[in-house]
Structure 1
């Protein structure tokens, strides 16, 4: 079919005639109840609409960019009614067929096999055949599998109990006798069907004190071998003999880890010819122009390929990233309960571990990571997988490139404590802190060491902390250096363990990830999260500029720290005759009028629909304050709105470095990164932070401000930040929280999701 009309004016006669031909073809071939998937720019083949509305959308908005091969509208099919009738049996269940394939990233796999599919592939294709079975004789809307999946989805979304779900099945079978053969009898039979999809959950009992898992050689133990705590809720059990321990105990476990195997879901990515070809995209189709659009363009990716040439030979081998965070399944901040999901992303989210609360595992998270690490070791060796694009079996391997998490979780996964004097994991043992005795906190300044060797700021004592700076930036900490520092240290895990050896610097443990054979050679093992760093930097800047109580970093104690350091005499507190202390206005302190101007700009700014939330709801001009900002609000403020609002307030030497700081985050978060620009950003952020040191008090420079110095380096090594920040992870966990009002049904909610 001629498609040149797509690029003509949507008001032209050629476009209208071509559109009518397209609609005739689509409604002849793939219409369902008089509707088709609308391929306009807004609907993106995601909504079923009738002919009139679809035509209106395609005239007003135009076709989805890049959608020139109309596979979803059966372009290759004949438009004759005869052929449609010949394929009627397939089209009756086309909706469920697509639903099953979409759920697992699988498209049409019909055709002869060059090789016999392996057992897992056979099982999956058998399931697709079952998807074509009628719900009852003559049913044109539902197949058996489609109805069961839809019903199970309603159960999870509606928080039905297992008993009420079984009662509903019984009622349906009683009311509609034709459903007797196709519908399962109970919830447990439905679970078996869902389990056949490979979405099984392995439950592993754990010590309530996070000491150990009851698996492998400890599978039948009933008492923790570290703290002697009972495996079950009844309490501690002493003096248990072998005869009793061999009896299967039906008591309730005190803590249960839910583990969702990773290998079956990775294998399913290759059971679709389309998705399987996408798994080679980074090698075959990725744009190679010197810029970084994807992690495959990064030095880290290329270094991994050089160090593991056998792995790199097959472009189908999978690279993974692991994310971890805690959330409350009760959807309320008043309940001190934290559940820790661990999920993989490449290219979909795969929940692998659900670590129970109520308290987070902390450094004991390595105990719960053991099943995942074992599976990652197996994936490094490889697992036989069927590739639908080549119709051959191959040995699929997978490797973990990095972790993605907020700063507290960074400490739990890396083993380096992110608190205290040496809180920065990239500066490592290099001293970059100063303890503020009046503010009772550590500040992290001395950013002059990141400047070029002969930069004039290095010898400027008066504008900074009264000292010259001759040190160079800290050396990058490699995996071999970590293992050399930790040696053969053996750490015991558990809340009640107090006899662990003292480790050098800020080390708390040797991370379990070093059990992976390739982990020590990874250039970047743990990512700093740009989302949370940007949010905290924005909160500090706005809180200090507006003098918000509890958020400002300019207060009496911070001024007394200046007295102790003997710098910035103009900001020292002044004792009045009455005995009260007066704090002179700082150059960054806004007057009441400036605050009103600043907040008025934020209150009245207009942005495109869907670009950001309603930030004006957080702004109060009287009193002068801003509160209730979400992470994405801070993102928009920092990169777009704050530079505009600052132009009419504050002296030039104050607003200029603040605007440069905003510009740094905006360029850092670009979808396409130029390595040369990142080298420039590394130099500029060092100069910007030094300029801020000349303006703000030392208490302003907490660890989050300091971490900004390392973000450009990590982007230069690992590629665009939107593959390595927490925005999609947080959104996914929010979805998990919405699913899990009843904690006991968490695993089935994640199954159906």
Structure 2
């Protein structure tokens, strides 16, 4: 369509009037003549709605807005094809999406939602049309691409009823019924229309979501930011600065050849949708995050995509791979074939590919996704079978306090048995295995998957469903399964596959410190069992259990535990602290001076406490050696969580955290050092490989879930 007339100066000429009428006729094709449209005059600039007569008057008196070259608000699509129903489809869609969210959160019926739509339609201005029913509203979301596929699952998470299994009534593995029970009979006996699945999962297709990133010219341009505008000066500001990203590009040049190809991160964690502790329920979302965008847009809610939603009431556990099968299949297609996508910034079609860089999850979910059991003798996935742990007979748990292995071989701490566990330490630091090495380890030990039908049947025949019956448990590894992510052809080559979550590690370390220095009953790591373990190990005689003449046992207070006066000073200091608005929650509300305790802390509260408040508040409450150790621990997490880091800073932090943990081992009992106190040693190595922590932790994911 000719648009040269919009630049004409004579707005009263007959040719201008004729072209204007052609524009109005185009704008009102398949539109109610009495409805309102955007006014593209030079004053309104498509910011106001008017009827046809008013728009004609404005265009005669003010002229046509010269910058409005693509008439997308009047029926023309950006790629040049006339989309006559464009405005009708998008008009009011944002209002509907908000109302649909309210319906879901409040459990409204379809009829009540229809009544609300009727009221809203009456109150809307002319030209804005909301759907007339919930059914029409769902059709609208399908047109916009907000669709999902509901898949029935085995109640025991053995299989999905899809593809060739879609018509089955029971699980092929455990023979459990697909349908819910209604009293003494199955709902399946009531007829096809009334059957209800015992467990379901919802899958949100990935391809249309990634395609929509390129439908906006601004976002499509920003999807190339990592290659076109990023400053490459050795500072870790973005995942593209990391060694993992650069190594991936080097190993897969065909993928990195087009900078528009999408890099993804995957996160998963369980939550209770009912927001009450009275109901035990765990729903598991699987979330994807595109990493091509600039740092200020990464991990923000508009760019956090729900991929799989797994119904409760029980979490999937190690069988989460069963529910990830549709996603893995789509990721393989996006890697091998890609999908034809329109780039609005260049007005061209291109073949878009996508790859998964790593996963983000807390430590229990780490076990579910990676297949490595994060409990027991070999709990550390980085140390693998070289994990150094000691069984504490009285505490009935493992201690992972062997940080001296990571010191230089000639360090004096290695030859000091008395200050540590009674032994000299000559073992070298463990080697972190590559993805290829891990795959070889899995294959050599015959580890089975938890999603392939033949493997599940083999497990059932061998009686391997429960870990305590698993004969593999006695071997020198903690593998429970082979992860489904190894189905991706590039997964074994990734330098980082599963991230240790700094957020949860920092929270657990802070809780452990607070409960021990405050001597919280039932939670402190300093108790009668830990003192007996010290006695068995033959170290720190001053902390051994003593016996009175009456036969009762007691032990002297430890240097690392505050006395009542010290607790009062520490807690009063916390209660009187006022943080800048928006930087932290009101931590003073968590302090209970009467009980001399602090409880109910959120993850970010622990973040602020460990890095800022504890180092300031403990100075007059604990001995100097304890204070220095905890200050160094807070400094380490502060450096690690910095938004700007370089390799030199992280190398210094890595050498310092080893010494800090060794100093803490000289102070606290072995029971203090569970696996969470060991993992900080590996956090710096991951930061050197995968880059900035703020793009690899659970804060944005959990806030999105809230």
TM-score by length of 1: 0.77
After TM superposition, list the pairs within 5 Å mapping 1:707-726 onto structure 2.
Answer: 707-726=679-698
Give yes or no for the alignment of 1:372 onto 2:327: yes
How far did residue 82 of structure 1 move? 6.0
Residues in 2 aligned to 1:339 and 1:475: alpha-carbon distance in whole angstroms? 36
Give yes or no for the alignment of 1:217 onto 2:167: no
2:233 maps to which of 285, 289, 292: 289
1:263 maps to which of 191, 207, 223: 207
After TM superposition, list the pairs within 5 Å mapping 1:9-20 onto structure 2.
Answer: none
How far did residue 159 of structure 1 move? 4.0
- In structure 1, the partner of 2:43 is 84
Residues in 2 aligned to 1:654 and 1:567: alpha-carbon distance in whole angstroms? 19
**CA, structure 1 residues 486+92, in 2 after alignment: closer, same or farther (shift >3 Å)?**
farther
Residues in 2 aligned to 1:283 and 1:208: alpha-carbon distance in whole angstroms? 46
SS in 2 for 1:199: coil
- In structure 1, the partner of 2:585 is 613
Is this contact kept in 1: 2:449–2:484, CA < 8 A? no
1:161 maps to which of 81, 94, 109: 109
Residues in 1 aligned to 2:573 and 2:357: alpha-carbon distance in whole angstroms? 43
Give yes or no for the alignment of 1:499 onto 2:463: yes
SS in 2 for 1:400: strand
- In structure 1, the partner of 2:416 is 460
CA deviation profile, 1:317-341 (whole Å, cap 9, x unmatched)? 1110000011111111121110000
How far did residue 483 of structure 1 move? 1.4
**CA, structure 1 residues 262+212, in 2 after alignment: closer, same or farther (shift >3 Å)?**
same
How far did residue 164 of structure 1 move? 1.0
SS in 2 for 1:587: coil
- In structure 2, the partner of 1:432 is 388
SS in 2 for 1:429: helix
**CA, structure 1 residues 122+619, in 2 after alignment: closer, same or farther (shift >3 Å)?**
farther
SS in 1 for 2:160: coil
Residues in 1 aligned to 2:218 and 2:127: alpha-carbon distance in whole angstroms? 37
How far did residue 485 of structure 1 move? 1.4
After TM superposition, list the pairs within 5 Å mapping 1:151-230 onto structure 2.
Answer: 151-156=99-104, 158-169=106-117, 182-230=129-177
- In structure 2, the partner of 1:631 is 603
Residues in 2 aligned to 1:196 and 1:442: alpha-carbon distance in whole angstroms? 55
**CA, structure 1 residues 513+210, in 2 after alignment: closer, same or farther (shift >3 Å)?**
same
How far did residue 350 of structure 1 move? 0.3
SS in 2 for 1:647: coil
Give yes or no for the alignment of 1:622 onto 2:594: yes
Give yes or no for the alignment of 1:544 onto 2:511: no
Residues in 2 aligned to 1:545 and 1:641: alpha-carbon distance in whole angstroms? 14
Residues in 2 aligned to 1:81 and 1:309: alpha-carbon distance in whole angstroms? 47
After TM superposition, list the pairs within 5 Å mapping 1:291-310 onto structure 2.
Answer: 291-310=235-254
- In structure 1, the partner of 2:14 is none
Residues in 2 aligned to 1:715 and 1:475: alpha-carbon distance in whole angstroms? 17
Give yes or no for the alignment of 1:352 onto 2:307: yes
CA deviation profile, 1:197-219 (whole Å, cap 9, x unmatched)? 10011001100110100112212
Structure 1 unaligned regions, length at least 5: 1-79, 94-107, 133-142, 239-243, 735-753
**CA, structure 1 residues 562+123, in 2 after alignment: closer, same or farther (shift >3 Å)?**
farther
1:401 maps to which of 329, 332, 357: 357
2:566 maps to which of 594, 619, 636: 594
CA deviation profile, 1:91-129 (whole Å, cap 9, x unmatched)? 999xxxxxxxxxxxxxx996499xxx99x9899966643
CA deviation profile, 1:668-706 (whole Å, cap 9, x unmatched)? 000001101111111111100000000000000011111
**CA, structure 1 residues 556+284, in 2 after alignment: closer, same or farther (shift >3 Å)?**
same
- In structure 2, the partner of 1:675 is 647
How far did residue 597 of structure 1 move? 1.2
Residues in 1 aligned to 2:400 and 2:82: alpha-carbon distance in whole angstroms? 55
SS in 2 for 1:84: coil
How far did residue 600 of structure 1 move? 1.5
Residues in 1 aligned to 2:252 and 2:183: alpha-carbon distance in whole angstroms? 48
CA deviation profile, 1:704-752 (whole Å, cap 9, x unmatched)? 1111111111111111111011111111111xxxxxxxxxxxxxxxxxx
Residues in 2 aligned to 1:567 and 1:438: alpha-carbon distance in whole angstroms? 15
**CA, structure 1 residues 615+658, in 2 after alignment: closer, same or farther (shift >3 Å)?**
same
Is this contact kept in 2: 1:131–1:146, CA < 8 A? no
Residues in 2 aligned to 1:437 and 1:355: alpha-carbon distance in whole angstroms? 39
Is this contact kept in 2: 1:109–1:273, CA < 8 A? no
CA deviation profile, 1:360-386 (whole Å, cap 9, x unmatched)? 110010100001100111111211110
Is this contact kept in 1: 2:79–2:347, CA < 8 A? no
- In structure 2, the partner of 1:277 is 221
Structure 2 unaligned regions, length at least 5: 1-38, 53-66, 291-297, 465-469
Residues in 2 aligned to 1:669 and 1:321: alpha-carbon distance in whole angstroms? 19
1:385 maps to which of 341, 356, 361: 341
**CA, structure 1 residues 534+83, in 2 after alignment: closer, same or farther (shift >3 Å)?**
same
How far did residue 171 of structure 1 move? 6.2
Residues in 1 aligned to 2:695 and 2:124: alpha-carbon distance in whole angstroms? 52
- In structure 2, the partner of 1:522 is 494
**CA, structure 1 residues 150+334, in 2 after alignment: closer, same or farther (shift >3 Å)?**
closer
1:335 maps to which of 279, 282, 285: 279
Give yes or no for the alignment of 1:490 onto 2:448: yes
How far did residue 180 of structure 1 move? 12
Residues in 1 aligned to 2:50 and 2:642: alpha-carbon distance in whole angstroms? 44
**CA, structure 1 residues 364+131, in 2 after alignment: closer, same or farther (shift >3 Å)?**
closer
Residues in 2 aligned to 1:618 and 1:635: alpha-carbon distance in whole angstroms? 14
**CA, structure 1 residues 251+643, in 2 after alignment: closer, same or farther (shift >3 Å)?**
same
How far did residue 606 of structure 1 move? 2.0
> Mean alpha-carbon deviation: is it higher for 588-597 or for 337-346?
588-597
When the two structures are aligned, how many residues end up with a matched partner? 620
How far did residue 582 of structure 1 move? 1.8
